[in-house]
């Protein structure tokens, strides 16, 4: 990624208050400021529609002797320095690290009394906020300092106590690291090896599950971080083996953990957001739409003015996705389209590079809303944007849902030439990534049997086969990964029912 691209993405992620603080800080510098010129050019462009080529042309036109690469690099440094300074005031972790650097400076200047006072404050705050690494660093810095001072003024039992507390902290860190490792491994396997689609696939995760159980039952003291990672592991595991009710139970417990420890949230609270989104995803999968608004309200509460702009747009996109999923799940397509019209246009057009899968999901639901109203051309436009952004995301289930809906729209529009090309492309791609699911086979079988061109008698015969296939999909918990986005079996049934109804 070029420096200019990085600068564009960084500036597009800034909130209005962050931009204001940046300007106030740069006013103190005298002389020509090429980096401010570049900042103004990027800032005046529409977020999400800014291109490196346009920015470069505008910059060189107003400063032909300047280097866009060097200016971008310096601008990135200035902005990140300001962001760090700003986060130090609001974020405990940033504040603690800066305080540790202050202690080191005091120690280097032989201001031992002041350094020790600060170190003790840092340790107390690290313990209360469960920053174990910083907590360990305070012990190690104190022990190093005592050693350098030849242990002047301390007794043997104090030294041993500090060493034991340092070791205990390290054990906590090792326990948390083991939880992180298992959580990362299960995410890796499910991301790169594909979703669990059978009980045999489920067995491949048994080693991780057993390791996780042994960690939880270990003798190491449980911290907020280890408890959080345990619940995240469980939630992720249950979601991907299609045990959505157990996943929902774990997510609810994770949500309670966050709500009981508000002082331990990150800034912004990404992990808390993930827990809330996990609950919403589980509710969508089991179609408990009546509970969705309660958790959407919780997302709205963490959308605060102090949060970074990228995080606020991530929240807004997520809220829009699950609001639309309720409208569509309840077949209120008019309400869904009205909601799309009421949305801020920037929710769709901005920050697509921050979370590409989220952007694709939002476009998919917009397409599904118009598809429900039988405005197929409008639906197709939304899908084309999602397909363009997701060329390299073929393993993602949302990408499959997008392509399947796109194929269905070609069928509805009776564009048979392009339809057959898309089906061949889809099946080729799926052979590389594994076999077709029952749901995918049903869609292609429905199109192949072409119910709209058959007689009523023939469709009644085919309907019996379709019903058996649909029932098999409904009974297969692993098919839920795909049909949570759209009830594809229902569409297949409707095609046969529609023709039989019209024929009679």
The 10s digit of each residue's pLDDT in 476-488 is 877 878 888 999 9
Q: Distance between CA atoms of 365 and 369, rounded to whole angstroms?
A: 6
CA distance 295 to 251: 12
Q: Supply the pLDDT for residue 499.
A: 60
pLDDT score at 431? 60
Cβ-contact 356, 389 below 8 angstroms: yes
Domain boundaries, the chain: 3-148
User: CA 57 to CA 74: how far, in whole Å?
Assistant: 19
- The torsion region of residue 460 among left (phi > 0), alpha (psi -120 to 50) and beta comes to alpha
How much is the pLDDT for 352? 56
Token couple for 248: 């929902």
The string of pLDDT tens digits covering residues 58-69 is 888 887 778 888
Query: Which pair of tokens denotes residue 108?
Result: 């280097």
**pLDDT at residue 47, rounded to an integer:** 52
Are 314 and 330 in contact by the 8 Å Cβ rule? The answer is no
> How does the average pLDDT of the chain come out, rounded?
84
The number of angstroms, rounded, from the C-alpha of 501 to the middle of its chain's C-alpha atoms is 44
Q: How many CB atoms lie within 10 A of CB 90?
A: 10
CA 233 vs. chain centroid, Å, equals 16
* Least confident stretch, 114-118, 198-202, 439-443: 198-202
Q: Quick one: pLDDT at residue 148?
A: 82
137 pLDDT tier (thresholds 50, 70, 90): very high
Confidence of residue 275 (pLDDT cuts 50, 70, 90): confident
Determine the average pLDDT of the residues in 407-431.
Answer: 84
**CA 32, chain centre distance (Å):** 40
Burial class (CB in 10 A: 0-12, 13-18, 19+), 504: exposed
Structure confidence at residue 391 (pLDDT)? 55
Structure confidence at residue 152 (pLDDT): 82
**Residue percentage of the chain with pLDDT more than 70:** 89
Sign of CA dihedral 305, 282, 194, 448: negative
Residue 257: its H or E element? helix 244-260
Quick one: pLDDT band at residue 192, thresholds 50, 70, 90? low
Residue 436 is predicted with a pLDDT of: 84
Residues comprising the chain, all counted: 504
How is residue 418 written in tokens?
């392009």
Average of pLDDT values for 248-265?
86
pLDDT at 286 exceeding the cut of 80: yes
Per-residue CA distances from 98 to 88, 94, 149, 170, 306 (Å): 7, 6, 24, 22, 21
Check residue 161 and give its pLDDT: 93
Q: pLDDT tens for residues 391-414? A: 555 567 888 899 999 999 999 988
Least confident of 55-69, 245-259, 273-287: 55-69
CA atoms within 13 A of residue 407's CA, in its CB half-sphere: 26
Predicted confidence at residue 394, as pLDDT, reads: 58
Provide the whole-model pTM: 0.76
Is a pLDDT exceeding 60 seen at residue 373?
Answer: yes
Is the preceding peptide bond at 329 cis, omega within 30 degrees of 0? no
Asked whether the predicted pLDDT for residue 329 surpasses 80, the reply is yes
pLDDT in tens, 298-328: 999 998 877 777 888 899 999 999 999 999 9
């Amino acid at each position: 990624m070029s420096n200019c691209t990085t600068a564009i993405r960084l500036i597009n992620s800034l909130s209005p208050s962050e931009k204001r603080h940046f300007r106030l800080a740069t006013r103190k510098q005298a002389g020509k400021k090429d980096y401010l010129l570049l900042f103004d050019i990027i800032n005046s462009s529409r977020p999400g529609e800014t291109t490196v080529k346009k920015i470069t042309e505008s910059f060189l036109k107003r400063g032909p002797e300047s280097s866009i690469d060097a200016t971008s690099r310096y601008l990135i440094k200035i902005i990140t320095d300001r962001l760090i300074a700003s986060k130090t005031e609001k974020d405990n972790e940033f504040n603690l690290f800066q305080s540790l650097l202050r202690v080191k400076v005091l120690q280097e200047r032989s201001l031992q009394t002041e350094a020790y006072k600060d170190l003790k404050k840092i340790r107390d705050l690290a313990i209360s906020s469960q920053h174990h690494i910083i907590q360990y660093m305070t012990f190690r810095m104190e022990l190093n300092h005592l050693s350098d001072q030849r242990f002047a003024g301390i007794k043997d039992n104090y030294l041993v106590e500090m060493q034991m507390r340092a070791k205990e902290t390290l054990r906590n860190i090792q326990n948390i690291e083991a939880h992180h490792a298992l959580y990362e491994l299960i995410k890796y396997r499910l991301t790169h090896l594909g979703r669990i689609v059978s009980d045999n696939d489920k067995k491949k995760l048994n080693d991780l599950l057993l390791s996780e159980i042994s960690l939880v039952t270990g003798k190491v003291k449980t911290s907020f971080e280890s408890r959080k990672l345990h619940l995240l592991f469980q939630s992720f595991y249950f979601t991907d083996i299609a045990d959505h009710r157990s996943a929902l139970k774990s997510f609810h417990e994770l949500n309670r953990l966050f709500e009981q420890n508000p002082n331990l949230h990150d800034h912004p609270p990404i992990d808390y957001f993930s827990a809330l989104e996990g609950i919403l995803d589980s509710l969508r999968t089991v179609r408990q739409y009546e509970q969705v608004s309660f958790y959407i309200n919780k997302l709205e509460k963490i959308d605060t003015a102090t949060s970074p702009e990228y995080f606020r747009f991530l929240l807004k996109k997520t809220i829009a996705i699950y609001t639309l999923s309720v409208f569509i799940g309840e077949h209120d397509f008019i309400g869904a389209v009205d909601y799309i019209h009421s949305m801020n246009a920037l929710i769709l057009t901005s920050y697509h590079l921050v979370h590409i899968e989220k952007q694709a999901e939002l476009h998919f639901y917009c397409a599904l809303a118009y598809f429900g109203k039988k405005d197929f051309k409008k639906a197709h436009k939304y899908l084309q944007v999602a397909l363009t952004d997701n060329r390299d995301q073929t393993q993602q289930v949302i990408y499959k849902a997008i392509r399947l809906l796109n194929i269905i729209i070609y069928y509805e529009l009776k564009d048979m030439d392009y339809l057959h090309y898309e089906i061949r492309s889809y099946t080729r791609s799926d052979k590389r990534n594994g076999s077709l699911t029952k749901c995918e086979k049903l869609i292609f079988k429905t199109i192949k049997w072409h119910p709209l061109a058959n007689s009523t008698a023939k469709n009644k015969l085919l309907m019996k086969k379709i019903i058996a296939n649909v029932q098999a999909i409904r009974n297969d918990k692993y098919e839920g990964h795909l049909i949570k986005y759209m009830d594809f079996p229902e569409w297949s049934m409707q095609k046969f029912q529609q023709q039989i109804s019209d024929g009679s």
